[in-house]
Amino acid sequence: MVPNYKKIALWVALLFIWPLTIAFIYQTSFPDIEGELLAIISYGLVACIVAFFPFIVSNTPIFFVHGIGFAVFLSYGLFMEVMLTQLAVLIVLAKVKISRSDSYRIPLNLLMFLFVSLAAASVYKWLGGTVGEFHLSTFREVVPLLGYAITVFVTNHLLLYCFRRFLVGSQVKFLNKSVIWEFCTTLVVLPVGFVLFMMYRDFDVAGIYFVSFPFISISIILKLFHSSQQVNDYLQETSEIGHELTGELEVNEVIDLFVQRVTKLLAVDYSYVYEVVDAETLKLSRLYDVEGKIEFPANDKLRKFEAVSGKAWGENRTITYKSQKDWAQFAESYLPVQGESIISVPVQRNNKIVAVITLISKRKGGFEKYQFMILDILVNYLAVALENARNYEETRKRSERDQLTGLYNYRFFDNYIQNYFANIRLTKRHEHISLVLLDLDRFKHINDTYGHQSGNEILQELSNRLKLLMDDKGIVARYGGEEFVVLLPNCTKMESLRIAELIRKEIASNSFVLKQHILDKEDPILVNVTASVGVATYPDNCEDPIDLIRHADRAMYIGAKQQGRNKVAMYDKLIGAQLQAE
C-alpha cells in the first residue's frame, strides 16, 4: 500500500520533471521531420496496436513498445522515441484498467519510461552511436546497439525494483518471474525493432507495415503463450489447494484455508464467505481484507436476493460486475468503497446451496474468464471439503459426547486432562488446576422407586444445570453412571471449594421434575436429590492428572459419602483429619 504523501509526491514530480525534461530533449534532439509525417504516424499506429496486447507478470505489465521505440530512435532520435513511448504507456495503463487508488501508476510509469529512454540514448551516444544512416560493417558499430538494448533492460528492471522496494514497500526478489519474461522478450523484440528500422530505411513506409505484421503477431503469440502458461500454473495450484482442503478436518480450518489461498491465487483485495443459515438467511462467517482496514459488520446477515451475495444465492448463479458503477444500486454498505470488480459464486453440495463466496478486486475488469473457471473448480473442492469436515465433526462429536446428557464423556475427559497436563509440563508454567467430582446420593433408590426413565430425566436436568453454572469456567463431563466431573483450570483450592459448594446447593435446593415416572398418577412429580462432592487441587494435592482424579474421588467417598452425604469435602482437609485421628 502506497502512502498518500508518496502518491502526491509522484504527481508533483510528474508536473515538474516531465515538462522540463521533454523541453530539454526537444531543444537538444528535435529532428527534421519535414515530409516524414506519414512514417511517424505509421510508427505510432504500430506502437498503439502493440500496446493493446500487454500481459501481467508479477503484477507488472509487459509489452513490446521498446522494439518500436528502438526503430523510432534510430530513425529520428530521442525526442520522437520518447513521445511515442509515452503515448504507448498511456494506452497500456488504460488497457489494464488501473483503479482510482492505483492512479499513482500513471506518473510512476511515465517517469520510469522517460528515464529508461534517457539512459538508453545516453549510453548509445556515449558508445559512439549515430542516428539515421549508418552501416554495420564492423563490430564497433554494433556495440552502441548492444549498449542500448542492455541499458533498456537493466535500467527498466532497476527502476522497477527500486520503486517496488522503497515506494510501495514490497519485499520483492531482485530476480523474479517478470525479470525472466522481460529478458526473453528483450532478446526477441529489440532485434525485430532493428529490422523494422532497416526495412523503413530501405523500403520507406511500406517497410514499416511489412515488418509490423510479424511484430504484432509476436506480441499476440507471446501474450497467448503467457496466458496458457498462466492457466496451467493456476490449474496446478488449484489442484494443490484441493488436496489441502480435503486434508483439513475442521470446518473453520477449511474455510480459513480456502479464503487465504484463493485471495492470494486470484490476487483479490477482499473476500467474503457467507453460510446459509436457513431458507431465507445468509450469515457472514469470514471477511478478509488484504490491508486489514475493514471491520466485521454489525449487520452480518443478508436475505435472499439482497445485495450481491444474496442475489447470487437467490438466482443460483455466478454474479459478476466489472466496475463499481455496475453494482452501486445494491445497498450493501459494508462492501469496500475502493472495490471495483466483483464475482459472487454460490457453493453447492447435493443440489443445495450451502454457502456464497464473494471476491472483490480494486481493479476494473479485475477477473479474467479463465479465473471464473478456476474459481468454479475451487468452489466444488470447497463444497466437498466442507461436507467431509462437517461429517467428521459430527462423528467426532458423537464419539466425544455422552448420548444421554450431551456432556463430554469419560474418553474425551481423560484425553483432555492428560493433554492439558502435558502442555503445562512442556511450557513449564505454574498454574493451579482443581477438579470437582460429584456423585448423586442414593441414585439406585431413585431408579427403583420412580423408574430408569426418571433417573435419566434427573441426569439430563443435572447436566443442564452444570452447564449453566460453569458456563466457560471449566470442562464438565459425565464420568460414568451418576458421577460427574468438572475440571477447573486456573482455579485455586479456595475458589474450587466455593464452586463445589455452589453446585451442591444448586442440586439440593431445587427439586427435579419427573414426567416419566412409574407411579400410578400421571401428573409430573417433584423429587429432591442431593450429591456428595469431592475436591482436589494441583499442585497442592498431587503431581499428575491420575492422582488429581483419585484424590477428588477419595475426598468424595470418604469425606462426603461416609460423613452423611450432601457434603463437600476437600482432599487436604481429609488427609489432615486422618493424620489427626492417627
- 106-161 confidence digits (pLDDT tens): 888 888 889 989 999 999 999 888 887 666 666 777 888 888 888 888 888 788 77
Which of residues 199 and 189 earns the better pLDDT score? 199
251-393 folds as Beta-Lactamase (3.30.450)
- Residues 310 and 355: their CA atoms lie apart, in Å, by 10
Q: What is the mean pLDDT of residues 233-252?
A: 77
Q: What is the pLDDT of residue 582?
A: 33
**CATH number among 1.20.1560.10, 3.40.50.2300, 3.30.70.270, 3.40.50.1100, domain 410-581:** 3.30.70.270
pTM here?
A: 0.56
What is the DSSP code string of 481-515? TTEEEEEEET--HHHHHHHHHHHHHHHHHSPEEES
pLDDT tens digits, one per residue of 264-300: 888 788 888 888 888 888 888 888 887 777 777 777 7
CB 11 within 8 A of CB 104: yes
Q: CA 510 to CA 468: how far, in whole Å? A: 14
Confidence category of residue 333, pLDDT binned at 50, 70, 90:
low
> Which range has highest mean pLDDT (215-224, 247-256, 422-431)?
422-431
Of the candidates 482, 506, 522, 582, the residue annotated as catalytic is 482
In the structure, what pLDDT confidence band is assigned to residue 178 with cuts at 50, 70 and 90? low
What integer pLDDT is reported at residue 64 of this predicted model? 63
The pLDDT assigned to 579 comes to 34
**DSSP 8-class letter at 517:** -
Q: Give the DSSP letter of residue 401.
A: B
Q: Supply the DSSP string of 134-180, one letter for each residue.
A: ----SHHHHHHHHHHHHHHHHHHHHHHHHIIIIII-----SS-HHHH
pLDDT in tens, 405-441: 999 999 899 999 999 998 888 888 888 999 999 999 9
Angstrom distance (rounded) from CA 196 to CA 211? 6
Q: Is 4 left (phi over 0), alpha (psi -120 to 50) or beta?
A: alpha
pLDDT tens, position by position, 463-482: 999 999 998 889 999 998 99
What is the arithmetic mean of pLDDT over 200-224? 75
Number of Cβ within 10 Å of residue 398's Cβ equals: 10
Other beta carbons within 10 angstroms of residue 349's beta carbon come to 15
Q: Residue 80: name the closest of 129, 132, 123 by CA.
A: 132
Choice among 41-45, 166-170, 327-331, 387-391 with the minimum mean pLDDT:
166-170
Residue 341's pLDDT is: 85
Q: Give residue 551's pLDDT band: very low, low, confident or very high (50, 70, 90).
A: very high
CA distance 133 to 250: 72
Percentage above 70 pLDDT, the chain: 87
Q: Is the pLDDT of residue 186 over 90?
A: no
**Which comes out higher in pLDDT, residue 528 or 109?**
528
Asked whether residue 222 carries a pLDDT value surpassing 60, the answer given is yes
pLDDT surpassing 50 at residue 581: no
Distance (Å, whole) CA 522 – CA 445: 20
Taking alpha carbons only, the member of 110, 90, 87, 93 closest to residue 41 is 87
Domain ranges of the chain: 4-238, 251-393, 410-581
pLDDT exceeds 50 at position 555: yes
CATH class held by domain 4-238 = mainly alpha
Most trustworthy range by pLDDT among 73-82, 310-319, 466-475, 526-535: 526-535
Please, what is the average pLDDT of the chain? 83
pLDDT confidence bin for 191, thresholds 50/70/90: confident
Active site includes 332? Answer: no
Q: Is the pLDDT of residue 403 over 70?
A: yes
pLDDT confidence bin for 532, thresholds 50/70/90? very high
**pLDDT over threshold 90, residue 535:** yes
Instruction: Give me the half-sphere count of Cα atoms (radius 13 Å) on the Cβ side of residue 485.
Output: 25
Q: What does the pLDDT look like over 43-94, one tens digit per residue?
A: 888 888 777 766 554 455 555 677 788 888 888 889 998 998 888 888 878 7
pLDDT at res. 428: 84
What is the structure's pLDDT at 291?
74
Residue 170: per-residue pLDDT:
63
